[in-house]
């Protein structure tokens, strides 16, 4: 199996790396401490100008058309500098991909150029609710048919980029009498529509620079043409798109874990105790060896999942495996890296405490580790029937 990157993939990875080092890394700590959204929005605009807000989108609609592997590589490099910017980029790309996959030509022509160009500063994926997180089929948001289209009412929670998104992809129940998960539809809802209220930014443990909000829909009227895909087929669409999103979050986790280990390894070569660099101690060397091996395995799992997606093969199991492993091992890497710095790792003047806070959510959002295990087991058991 050849894991050599194509010329285009290598170019995108290198571009992402240079941009992350020159533009994101210098402001990442400030963004985390101040939560100044102007910094994040400036980052997003530059990413759009680089073509990174539509990496897997057709060039006919303003995208880069570089594929899922390039997307994974780019997210990892961006996350090495700033997880808050990386998650904004990941979700916006996911919104663009669901529109490309299921949208009408009119929907694609209208929304994709706005997302890819940065005119829409972000897109938001409105699926989760307070009582429907790991079980999205239990959502309570409803879309009621009217003479003018549909009226959407309900509340979505923990929505990335909601306060500055240009368009929301919203899931709502359109047939309350249908079996669970069967009467759900997906809608494209423009930000600023009457009846939308975006709550204040949530106070989070990490990824402070990323906007996360509650979004309330109060009889928001949308035309019938706002339906994305087929009526009452929205849950299947959500499940399919979440698999792609897991490649993004796994790649983000990998980037944070790599950044943590890079910083810690450099530190161990400079820090001296008992008359020699602490990198010379076997106990610390084994920590470095184990975490680095695990992160390399995560990279290969992510590339495999992304490659399968890019080639049009089934990839749900592989995406869940990659997301599960990458997020769990990146968490371990960040805590091991913090341990390698000792007391300094706990201080805010060093980036390890930020990495540890930022990485923690990766084993929760886009499906918890427990949900990933259920998906993986289900797929494996089905293969053995």
Residues 113-163 have pLDDT tens digits of 999 999 999 999 999 999 988 898 899 999 999 999 999 999 999 999 999
Q: Percent of the chain having pLDDT more than 70?
A: 100
Phi-psi category of residue 342: left, alpha or beta, with phi > 0 → left and psi -120 to 50 → alpha: left
Q: Percent of the chain having pLDDT more than 90?
A: 95
Specify whether the CB–CB gap between 150 and 187 falls below 8 A: yes
362: tokens are: 């990766």
Q: Which amino acids are annotated catalytic? A: 366
The residues pairing with 173 across neighbouring beta strands, listed in sequence order, are 142, 184
* pLDDT at position 237: 85
Specify whether the CB–CB gap between 195 and 220 falls below 8 A: yes
* Domains of the chain and CATH, by start: 7-120 (1.10.540.10), 124-232 (2.40.110.10), 236-383 (1.20.140.10)
Model-level pTM?
A: 0.96
Specify whether the CB–CB gap between 224 and 52 falls below 8 A: no
* pLDDT at position 238: 86
Question: What is the residue-wise DSSP string for 207-272?
Answer: -TTS-EEEEEEEEEEE-GGGB-SSTT-HHHHHHHHHHHHHHHHHHHHHHHHHHHHHHHHHHHHH-E
- Calculate mean pLDDT across residues 83-112: 97
Handedness of CA 92, 189, 216, 242 (dihedral sign): negative
pLDDT in tens, 47-75: 999 999 999 999 999 999 999 999 999 99
123-126 and 167-173 beta bridge pairing:
parallel
Indicate the pLDDT class of residue 241, thresholds 50, 70 and 90.
Answer: confident
- Calculate mean pLDDT across residues 270-299: 97
* pLDDT at position 282: 97
* pLDDT at position 123: 97
Cα gap 287→279, rounded to integer Å: 10
DSSP letter (8 states) at residue 124: E
Half-sphere exposure of 147 (CA within 13 A, CB side): 0
Q: How far apart are the first and last CA of the chain?
A: 28
Q: Virtual CA dihedral for 257, 259, 264, 267, nearest 10 degrees? A: 180
- Calculate mean pLDDT across residues 33-47: 97
**What rounded mean pLDDT belongs to the chain?**
96
Cα gap 165→5, rounded to integer Å: 33
- Calculate mean pLDDT across residues 231-237: 91
- E strand or H helix that includes residue 110: helix 105-117
* pLDDT at position 1: 65
Residue 129 — φ and ψ, nearest 5°? -130, 170
């Amino acid at each position: 199996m050849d894991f050599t990157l194509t010329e285009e993939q290598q170019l995108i990875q290198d571009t992402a790396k240079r941009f992350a080092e020159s533009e994101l890394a210098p402001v990442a700590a400030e963004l985390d401490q101040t939560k100044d959204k102007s910094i994040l929005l400036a980052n997003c605009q530059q990413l759009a100008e680089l073509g990174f807000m539509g990496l897997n989108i057709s060039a006919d609609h303003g995208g880069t058309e570089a594929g899922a592997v390039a997307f994974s590589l780019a997210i990892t490099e961006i996350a090495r500098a700033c997880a808050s910017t990386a998650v904004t980029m990941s979700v916006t790309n996911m919104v663009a991909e669901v529109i490309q996959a299921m949208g009408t030509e009119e929907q694609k022509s209208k929304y994709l150029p706005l997302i890819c160009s940065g005119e829409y500063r972000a897109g938001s994926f409105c699926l989760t609710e307070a009582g429907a997180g790991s079980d999205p089929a239990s959502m309570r948001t409803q879309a009621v048919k009217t003479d003018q289209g549909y009226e959407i009412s309900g509340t979505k929670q923990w929505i990335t980029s909601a306060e500055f998104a240009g368009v929301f992809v919203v899931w709502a129940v359109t047939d309350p009498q249908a079996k669970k998960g069967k009467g759900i539809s997906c809608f494209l809802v423009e930000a600023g529509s009457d009846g939308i209220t975006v709550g204040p930014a949530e106070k989070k443990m990490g990824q402070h620079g990323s906007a996360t909000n509650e979004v309330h829909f109060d009889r928001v009227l949308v035309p019938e043409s706002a339906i994305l895909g087929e009526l009452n087929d929205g849950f299947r669409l959500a499940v399919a798109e979440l698999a792609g999103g897991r490649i993004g979050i796994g790649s983000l986790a990998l980037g944070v874990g790599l950044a943590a280990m890079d910083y810690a390894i450099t530190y161990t070569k400079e820090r001296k105790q008992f008359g020699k660099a602490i990198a010379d101690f076997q106990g610390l060397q084994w920590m470095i060896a184990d975490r680095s091996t695990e992160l390399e395995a995560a990279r290969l799992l992510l590339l495999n999942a992304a490659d399968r997606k890019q080639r049009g093969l089934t990839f749900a199991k592989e995406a869940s495996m990659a997301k599960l492993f990458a997020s769990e091992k990146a968490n371990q890497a960040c805590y091991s890296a913090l341990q390698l710095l000792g007391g300094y790792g706990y201080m805010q003047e060093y980036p390890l405490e930020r990495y540890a806070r930022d990485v923690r959510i990766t084993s929760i959002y886009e499906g918890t580790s427990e949900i990933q295990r259920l998906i993986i087991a289900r797929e494996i058991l089905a293969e053995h029937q």
